[in-house]
């Protein structure tokens, strides 16, 4: 079975632009979460979606938004990009919400802001 897939793998943008990152969960998984990982640090929780509804939101500005589609895939959108948005963006899927279930991660999208 395919794991979590993310696209694109790498992306270069300039300040002020917007970006859309995509994630396809493992088949049968209904929950998708997004994380930002800055170099040398642990992942920071951005959003969790379950059954197309937002179930959790981390401490990120409104420039960050996401949605989940009927096939449980998800998009993360970031507007008005800042230099500080440069990071590895990770998507993780699980069968249900977070409680007592492992999360399965994709290899991420490396976003560089110039």
Query: Which chain residues interact with other proteins by CB under 8 A?
Result: 4, 33, 35, 41-45, 48, 55-56, 58-59, 90, 92, 97-108
3-class DSSP state for residue 57? strand
Q: How far is the CB of 70 from other proteins (least distance, A)?
A: 21
Of 18 and 107, CB closest to other proteins:
107
Q: Cβ distance 11 to 109 under 8 Å? A: yes
Token digits for 110? Answer: 């490396």
Q: How far is the CB of 64 from other proteins (least distance, A)?
A: 14
Token digits for 14? Answer: 């300039």
Distance CA 114, CA 103 (A): 31
**Phi, psi of 84, deg, nearest 5:** -70, -10
Of 10 and 62, CB closest to other proteins:
10
Q: How far is the CB of 83 from other proteins (least distance, A)?
A: 21
Of 17 and 54, CB closest to other proteins:
54
């Amino acid at each position: 079975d395919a794991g979590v897939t993310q696209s694109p793998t790498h992306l270069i943008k300039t300040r002020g632009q917007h970006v859309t990152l995509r994630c396809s969960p493992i088949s049968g998984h209904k929950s998708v979460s997004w994380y930002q990982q800055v170099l040398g640090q642990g992942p920071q929780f951005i959003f969790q979606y379950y059954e197309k509804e937002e179930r959790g939101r981390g401490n990120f500005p409104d420039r960050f938004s996401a949605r989940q589609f009927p096939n449980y895939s998800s998009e993360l959108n970031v507007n008005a990009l800042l230099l500080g948005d440069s990071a590895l963006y990770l998507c993780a899927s699980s069968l249900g919400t977070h409680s007592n279930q492992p999360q399965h991660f994709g290899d991420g999208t490396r976003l560089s802001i110039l």
